[in-house]
Every structure is written in C-alpha cells, then in structure tokens.
Amino acid sequence: MKKLRNVNTNKRKKERKAKQKELQEQTALLMKHPKECCVCNIEFVRTPTTVKEWHVTVVQEKKAVHLTCPSCWGILTEAMEKLDGI
C-alpha cells in the first residue's frame, strides 16, 4: 500500500526548536530594554499611555534595543523621510 503523504517529523521538530530559540532570544532582548529615551534621555515611566506611545526598535544584528519617546520619534521619522527624498 502506498503512503498518502510523506511525514517528516524530524524536520518539523528541528524547525520548531529553531523558531522557539529565536523567540526566546527576541523576548530576552525586549526584556533588557533601556529605561530612558535613547535620544533625549527622558526617563520611561511605565503607564498604559506611555506603553502605547513610546517606540521600541530592535536591531537583530547588533542585538540592541532602542527606546524612543514620541517627540524624538517624530524628529527621527522626519529626518528619515528627508533622507529618502534626496
């Protein structure tokens, strides 16, 4: 009797473990986020509004996390738009 489908459980298991490890690394990076804005050094106070307004940027290659306040984020996005327009 011929098999209807080829099940490769070892391959799936390796992929699942790799994804789980990647997720753990990303979670660890986010848990180590700075406590102040990376541009103007304003302290980050955890409240529901600040959590929604502040921006977290993760750089995977450098394994770095940057926290940016809303006013500095606006300045950064404007500067990036000007660079893209050049």
Is residue 3 included in any domain, yes or no? no
Is residue 1 included in any domain, yes or no? no
| pLDDT, tens only, 11-22 | 888 999 999 998
Could you tell me the residue range of the domain that residue 46 belongs to? 9-85
- Whether 49 has a pLDDT exceeding 80, the answer reads yes
Number of domains forming the structure of the chain: 1
Alpha helices in 1-86 (DSSP H): 9-31, 48-53, 70-85
Is residue 14 included in any domain, yes or no? yes
Is residue 81 included in any domain, yes or no? yes
Checking 21-29 for CB contacts under 8 A at 24+ apart, the result is: 26/58, 29/58, 29/63, 29/64, 29/65
Model pLDDT, residue 3: 63
Is residue 4 included in any domain, yes or no? no
Query: pTM value?
Result: 0.60
Model pLDDT, residue 27: 83
